[in-house]
Amino acid sequence: MIGRWIRRGYGWACERLYREFAWSYELVSRGVSFGQWDVWRRIALDEVQQQGAPTQLMLEIGFGTGALLAMARRASLPVVGLELSSQMHAVASATLARQQLDAPRAQGTAAAMPFADQSFNVVVATFPAPYILEESTLQECARVLHQYGCLIIVGLWVTPLICGRRLHIPPVYGAPSPAQQARVERLLADAGFTPMTILRRAGGAEVSVAIGQKGAVSLHMDNCGAA
């Protein structure tokens, strides 16, 4: 019962942070991660590059303040962004303008994306809100990906490591239970992906990376994005 109220309060506070307090999102995320949020975000780009799709078109959904869009553009990766919140759009525009960078961006929900079928090689989401595991979102991700494209979701769970011990502070930090991990993989499979979960160590934490490859070719993801 108390757990449910804490989760509801946390969800409500997050919504405020994506909307009227979007201007403070970077400060808050840096604060709660002891400055590691960008290090954890960067895992998404490392993963895109490891999956062998570095020069192909990437879509970032829920791009928030635009920090990963900027990182991708600095690395010369072609990227398009989709974000629901108009306040986050304003923050991202300022982030990119400050760095004299740009990336095409659309406002809308990941549950009904304004893109044609098979438009992207990779779809990426970092620290996504609960929308990411909704059936409509996962189906849209599968629709906009090329035949062998892949979906990379970074940070569904983050577990800080303190002196080698895992720190659990629900609902913010913690490791997934086998049942939670299995649920994510089942949802990805239901949307037509071959799922895989890995844990990456970076910035003093274990960060979960859920990968769904479209077109069940190989569990090693060698073909990811190579359509």
Ligand X SMILES: C[S@@+](CC[C@H](N)C(=O)[O-])C[C@H]1O[C@@H](n2cnc3c(N)ncnc32)[C@H](O)[C@@H]1O
User: Which residues lie near ligand X (CB under 6 A)?
Assistant: 18, 29, 41, 61-64, 68, 82-85, 88, 109-111, 126-129, 131
Min dist. Cβ of residue 37 to ligand X (A): 7
Closer to ligand X by CB, 110 or 221: give it.
110
**Distances 158 to 67, 170, 208 between C-alpha atoms, Å:** 19, 10, 6
Question: Are 72 and 45 in contact, with CB atoms under 8 Å apart?
Answer: yes
The answer to whether 203 and 221 have CB atoms below 8 angstroms apart is no
3-class SS of residue 191: coil
Which CB sits closer to ligand X, 160 or 215?
Answer: 160
Q: Minimum distance from CB of 48 to ligand X (Å)?
A: 14
- By beta-carbon proximity to ligand X, the closer residue of 58 and 110 is 110
Which residues contact residue 191 at a Cβ distance below 8 angstroms, ignoring those fewer than 6 apart? 135, 138, 139, 141, 142, 212
Least CB distance to ligand X at residue 98 (A): 17
Task: Specify the residue, 39 or 227, whose C-beta has the smaller distance to ligand X.
Answer: 39
Burial (CB count <10 Å: 0-12, 13-18, 19+), residue 90: middle
Q: Least separation, in Å, of the C-beta of 41 and ligand X?
A: 5
